[in-house]
Amino acid sequence: DIQMTQSPSSLSASVGDRVTITCRASQGISNYLAWFQQKPGKAPKSLIYGASSLQSGVPSRFSGSGSGTDFTLTISNLQPEDFATYYCQQYNSYPLTFGGGTKVEIK
């Protein structure tokens, strides 16, 4: 199985900050990577597919990059509604696997 490792596991940031979350795959997954946002008590919401393509309706302050084993999710100009937990998911091979999550908290 492909292991997905996210870092950091949590971070504190202020409104307006630029935040970067990393996700590393235990083997190469090309660009078969998605990012999700989850708020407490809610289902995850898809943000990015194909490592860098934004889902419809997702604000442009979210961006993704990377290929192979190393990926990043960047949130520029952090907004109050962005405080949440973020997960990466690889879909290069079965079983599909998720990272452990990064909680973005208010500083």
Partner 1 sequence: EVQLVESGGGLVQPGGSLGLSCAASGFTFSNYWMSWIRQTPERGLEWVANIKRDGSEKYYVDSVKGRFTISRDNAKNSLYLQMNSLRTEDTAVYYCARDDLNGGSGDYWGQGALVTVSS
Q: Which residues are at the interface with partner 1 (CB under 8 A)?
A: 1, 32, 34, 36, 43-46, 49-50, 53, 55, 87, 89, 91, 94-101
Task: Name the minimum Å distance from CB 33 to partner 1.
Answer: 8
Task: Name the minimum Å distance from CB 18 to partner 1.
Answer: 26
Residue with Cβ nearer partner 1 (19 or 88): 88
Residue with Cβ nearer partner 1 (8 or 77): 8
Q: CA 82 to CA 104: how far, in whole Å? A: 8
Q: CA 101 to CA 26: how far, in whole Å? A: 16
Number of Cβ atoms within 10 Å of the Cβ of 99: 25
Q: CA 51 to CA 15: how far, in whole Å? A: 25
Task: Name the minimum Å distance from CB 46 to partner 1.
Answer: 5
Residue linked to tokens 């973005």: 104
